[in-house]
């Protein structure tokens, strides 16, 4: 085949693709990325079809990601998740969904990867809490109809656990940070990494998961936690390097709120402060942006209303 004939064929293919893009209403700015890779090997023309290439490049830049060997696989996952987000948000605009989603650091991950990193072992959490003393609300205390401990200085800024299944550690420190502020009026970010590295003998597994009740047991036994400043978070398992001379906050123990008791949870948050909880979160929770409820991850309740709690506890 002559050179001019090969280029004529390629031009015809491009025209066909342009017509298809018009019919399918593919966004104009993305069209050029369909043809960023055009190669001729022997007599074969290879066209690369990547309608979200520019979005993918920007996503990797925004979240500091690089995949030299598996970029195509991650791109495919990203496009699949992005399309799910777009379809969901279209239903939200039509009033068929109560919340909307957005791209975040999980957009190029499989549900299995996200689950292994963030989700809760409900059975183990329930078993651990069955051995925990129950929280007893104070008598004759009127709990306000609304409260937000963030406005009172009890809560540190949002933190990022990165690709480490350490949500249990962040939930535990969040509650203890609130109690430390309640006692000292000083807000200090405590070390999740210390819990990741050092609480293995208490049943936790570092970046492979753990439980807040085990974290509180470790803190009580060891004698406290260092600050995040002194024991930095790196998002991976390390050898424990905790130093008792650097302990900032201590914990005398913890109590558990009965499973499913929203009234007890409300009393605990209202009387004591931020509470460490675990909730069940479905797949869309990982891309949640706002405006509604969601379908386990661990978090801290610093006000209400909140729903679908699995277990809750607070340091004493």
Handedness of CA 52, 161, 288, 281 (dihedral sign): positive
55 pLDDT more than 50: yes
Are the C-beta atoms of 247 and 206 separated by less than 8 Å?
A: no
pLDDT exceeds 90 at position 45: no
Q: Three-state SS for 267?
A: helix
Q: Which of 244, 222, 218 is nearest to 231 (CA)?
A: 244
> pLDDT (tens digit, 9 = 90+) per residue, 88-125?
889 989 999 888 888 888 889 887 777 766 655 554 55
- For residue 3, pLDDT over 60 is answered with no
What is the average per-residue pLDDT within 13-42?
40
The pLDDT, as a whole number, for residue 284 is 63
Could you report the per-residue pLDDT of 207-264, keeping only the tens digit for each? 988 889 899 999 999 999 999 999 999 999 999 999 999 999 999 988 888 878 888 8
DSSP 107-169: TTS-HHHHHHHH---HHHHHHHHHTSPBP-PPTT-PPPS--BGGGGT--PPP----SS--HHH
Residue 304 or residue 180, greater confidence? 180
The pTM assigned to this predicted structure is 0.65
pLDDT the model gives residue 167: 87
**311 pLDDT higher than 50:** no
- CATH no. for 113-315: 3.90.70.10
What pLDDT, in 10s, does the model give residues 167-203? 899 999 999 999 999 999 999 999 999 999 999 999 9
Report the C-alpha gap between 16 and 18 in whole angstroms: 5
The pLDDT assigned to 60 comes to: 92
Count how many residues are written for the chain.
316
In the chain, where the domains are located: 1-51, 64-109, 113-315
């Amino acid at each position: 085949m002559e050179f001019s004939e090969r280029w004529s064929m390629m031009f015809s293919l491009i025209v066909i693709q342009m017509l298809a893009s018009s019919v399918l209403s593919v966004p104009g700015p993305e069209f050029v990325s369909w043809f960023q890779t055009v190669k001729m090997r022997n007599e074969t023309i290879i066209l690369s079809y990547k309608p979200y290439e520019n979005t993918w490049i920007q996503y990797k830049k925004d979240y500091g990601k690089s995949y030299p060997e598996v970029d195509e696989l991650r791109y495919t996952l990203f496009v699949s998740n992005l399309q799910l987000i777009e379809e969901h948000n279209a239903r939200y605009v039509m009033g068929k969904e109560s919340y909307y989603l957005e791209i975040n650091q999980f957009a190029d991950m499989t549900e299995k990867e996200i689950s292994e990193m963030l989700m809760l072992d409900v059975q183990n959490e329930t078993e651990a809490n069955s051995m925990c003393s129950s929280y007893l609300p104070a008598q004759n205390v009127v709990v306000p109809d609304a409260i937000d401990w963030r406005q009172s200085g009890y809560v540190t800024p949002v933190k990022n656990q990165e690709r480490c299944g350490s949500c249990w550690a962040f939930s535990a420190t969040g509650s203890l940070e609130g109690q430390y502020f309640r006692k000292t009026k000083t807000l200090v970010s405590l070390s999740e990494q210390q819990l990741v590295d050092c609480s293995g003998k208490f049943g936790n597994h570092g970046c492979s998961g753990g439980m807040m009740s085990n974290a509180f047991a470790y803190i009580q036994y060891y004698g406290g936690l260092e600050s995040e400043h002194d024991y930095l978070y790196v998002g991976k398992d390390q050898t424990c390097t905790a130093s008792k001379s650097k302990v900032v906050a201590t914990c005398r123990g913890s109590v558990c709120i009965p499973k499913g008791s929203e009234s007890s949870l409300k009393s605990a948050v209202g009387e004591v402060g931020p509470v460490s909880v675990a909730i069940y979160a479905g797949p869309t929770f990982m891309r949640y942006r706002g405006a509604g409820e969601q379908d386990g991850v661990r978090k801290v309740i610093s006000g209400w209303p909140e729903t679908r709690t699995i277990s809750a506890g607070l340091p004493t």
